[in-house]
Amino acid sequence: MNVTFFIQVLINGIAIGSVYALMAVGYSLVYSIMSFSNFAHGGVIMLGAYIGYYSGALFGLPIWAAILAAMLGCGLIAITIERAAYNPLRKRNAPPLYYIISAMGTSILLENLIVATIGPNFKTYPPLFTERSIEIGKIAIGKLDLLMLVISAVSLFLLVFLIDKTKIGMAIRATAYNLRASSLMGVNPDTVIFIVFGLGGAMAGVAGVLFGMRYVVYPQIGIITNKAFVGAVFGGLGSLPGAIIGSVLLGIIEVMASAYWSSNLQNLIAFVLLIFVLIVRPSGIMGVSTEDKA
C-alpha cells in the first residue's frame, strides 16, 4: 500500500464528490419542498457549463467572473423552468408523477435546444494553469482538483449557512417539514419555491463550470447528474447534509474503485451503490422517512 498514492486518490475523490454535492443539493432542496426528483436539473448544469465556457472563451472573463455569471444565469434558468414546467401543475394539484414527466421533457428539450443551436461538438475550456499540479512533499495534488474542492466547499458552506441561520432558511426548513403548516404561519409557498429553485440553480451553475473545466462541454454533459442523484439518495433524499455527505462519499468510492480495481468500474459503481442503498436502507444515511422516492 502506497500512502502517497492513496492520499492523492483520496483528494481527487473528495474533489469530484464535492462537485457532485453541488448538484445533489439542488435535487434535495426541491425534493424536500415538492416531493419529486427534478430531472431537469441536469439540463441546468449543462447550460451552466456553456455559460462558463462562453464567458471565458468569448468574453475573456476570469474564472471567478465566469462562475458568478453561471450562478446567476442558472439561477434564473431554474426559476424559469419552475414557472413554465411545474407551476401550472402545482395550480392543478397534480400528483408527483406528472412533475417527473414534465422534468424529463424539459431535460430533453434543453439538450436538443443546444444541439440545434450551438451544435453537438465538444468544446474545451481554455487552460487555466500552466502547471497541472502542486507538490507537497511527495504528494502531487492537481491544481484543478484543489480549485474544485475550494470553490465547492465555499459554495456549499454559504448554502448551508443560508438554510441554517437565516430567516428565509428557517422558512424553507419549516416548509420542507409541512407546507400547509408553514403557510398557516404566513409563509408564501411561491416565495419558498422561487428561492429553492434559484439556490439549486446557482449551485448547478458552479458545478457546470467546474465540470466543464475538468472535462469538456457537450450537450449531454447533464447526464453526470445521475451520479449526483445517486449521491442525494445515498445521503437521504430531501436532507441537505445528507446530499453533501452522500455525494462526497460517492466521489471517494468511485475514484478509489477505479484507482485500485479497474477504471471501467467508475461508472458502474455508482449504480451498484444506488441499488444497494435502496435495498438495505432506502432512507439513505441521513434520511428520516422511508416513503417511496419518486
For the bound state, the minimum distance from the C-beta of residue 90 to other proteins, rounded and expressed in Å, comes to: 13
Shorter beta-carbon distance to other proteins: residue 166 or 267: 166
Where do contacts with other proteins occur on this chain (CB under 8 A)?
167, 170-171, 173-174, 176-178, 180-189, 288
For the bound state, the minimum distance from the C-beta of residue 284 to other proteins, rounded and expressed in Å, comes to: 16
d(CA 37, CA 88): 17
d(CA 166, CA 172): 10
Shorter beta-carbon distance to other proteins: residue 65 or 179: 179
Distance of CA 156 to CAs 25, 40, 84, 162, 273, Å?
9, 21, 27, 10, 24
Shorter beta-carbon distance to other proteins: residue 183 or 226: 183
For the bound state, the minimum distance from the C-beta of residue 177 to other proteins, rounded and expressed in Å, comes to: 5
Q: What's the distance, Cα to Cα, between the start and end of the chain in Å?
A: 42
For the bound state, the minimum distance from the C-beta of residue 170 to other proteins, rounded and expressed in Å, comes to: 6
256 within 8 A of 246, measured Cβ to Cβ = no
Shorter beta-carbon distance to other proteins: residue 162 or 174: 174
d(CA 56, CA 260): 36
Shorter beta-carbon distance to other proteins: residue 108 or 288: 288
User: Chain-centre distance of CA 75, in angstroms?
Assistant: 13
32 within 8 A of 18, measured Cβ to Cβ = no
For the bound state, the minimum distance from the C-beta of residue 281 to other proteins, rounded and expressed in Å, comes to: 20
